[in-house]
Amino acid sequence: ILCFDASFQNTGNATLNVDVLGAITLYRNGAEIPAGTIEKDQKVLVTYDGTNFEVLSVTRAITTYTDPISTRGDIIRGDSSGDVERLAVGNADEILGTDGTDAAWRAITSYVAAQADLEGATAVTAYTSPGRQEFHPSAAKVWVEFAVDGTLGNSFNVASVDDDGVGNFGINLSTAFSGTGYSVVLSGDTSANTQILLWVETRNTGSIEIQLHDTGGTDNEGSVTDVMLTAFGDQ
């Protein structure tokens, strides 16, 4: 039995030359050892049967492991060579993402849709927040319910309602539209079966003027008790 420190890594069949024996092939389980059986600096235990060396065991060299983690919050990632490296904890409000090559800390804002993303309505990798979803074309920019005496009820983006006389109302917006090419939807509650027409008189950027008429075209609120308005467009 012989133990030696390997000075090589075998890439195929290997031989061992001991004194007068000459170069003798190394075997394992009756077959020549395959590539990679022995690595440099390993301790190799063999036995000699008079013809061949039979490898009994291979002990790998002990390598000291250095823990890359040094601080709370550190994580481990592979570097450009595939080796282990430390990635320090990111800043507050950052999330772990990728820059396309490595795992990396990224600001949450890099994933948040801006107003232009919502208005463009094409981005599929940016995510909206509650305070910006209203900029999407499908979102109502204004909605309101008010009584025919001008009393403001539930609403969104409405500062006040003007009672400008029988059947005439002005809805004043908190945030104006960017232009007058927006869409308005009107409806009403009624206490009786009377025919009253609700229509938009004027679309201003900062206000909407509406009228209620009877079938004869006269300003008339009839039995209408409440008016509901919704508007869509760009702000």
Asked if the structure places residue 155 within a domain, the reply is yes
Do residues 82 and 36 share a domain? no
Cα gap 86→84, rounded to integer Å? 7
Asked if the structure places residue 69 within a domain, the reply is no
Note the residue count of the chain.
Answer: 235
pLDDT of residue 164: 94
Asked if the structure places residue 87 within a domain, the reply is yes
pLDDT of residue 179: 97
Asked if the structure places residue 64 within a domain, the reply is no
> What's the angle, vertex CA 26, arms to CA 23 and CA 32, rounded to 5?
125
Asked if the structure places residue 132 within a domain, the reply is no
pLDDT of residue 110: 67
Asked if the structure places residue 115 within a domain, the reply is no
Q: Are 212 and 220 in contact (CB under 8 A)?
A: yes
pLDDT of residue 63: 64
Task: Provide the sign of the torsion angle of the four alpha carbons 86, 91, 95, 98, taken in this order.
Answer: negative
pLDDT of residue 59: 62
pLDDT of residue 166: 92
**What are the Cα distances from residue 186, in Å, to 146, 166, 190?**
12, 17, 13
Do residues 105 and 23 share a domain? no
pLDDT of residue 62: 59
Do residues 220 and 161 share a domain? yes
Q: Total domain count for the chain?
A: 3
Do residues 97 and 175 share a domain? no
Do residues 93 and 152 share a domain? no
Query: Facing residues of 172 across strands?
Result: 160, 207
**Which pTM value belongs to this model?**
0.55
Do residues 50 and 99 share a domain? no
Asked if the structure places residue 88 within a domain, the reply is yes
Do residues 227 and 171 share a domain? yes
Asked if the structure places residue 225 within a domain, the reply is yes
Range of the domain at 105: 75-110
Do residues 81 and 54 share a domain? no
Do residues 44 and 92 share a domain? no
Q: What is the secondary structure of the chain as a DSSP string?
A: -EEEE-SS--SS--EEE-GGG-EEEEEETTEEPPTTSS-TT-EEEEEE-SS-EEEEEEEPPP--------STT-EEEE-TTS-EEEE----TTEEEEE-SSSEEEEEGGGGBPPHHHHHHT--SS-B--TTTGGGSTTS-SEEEEEETT--EEEEESEEEEEE-STTEEEEEESS--SSS--EEEEEEEESSS--EEEEEEEE-SSEEEEEEEETTS-B--TTEEEEEEEEE---
Do residues 164 and 218 share a domain? yes
Do residues 88 and 159 share a domain? no
State the 10-residue block means of pLDDT for the chain, 235 residues long: 86 87 88 88 88 80 74 88 88 84 81 80 77 81 95 96 94 97 94 85 97 86 91 94
Nearest to 6 by CA among 79, 72, 58, 65: 58
Do residues 225 and 162 share a domain? yes
- Where b means 16+ CB within 10 Å and e means fewer, 24-63 reads eebbbeeeebeeebbeeebebebeeeeebbbbeebeeeee
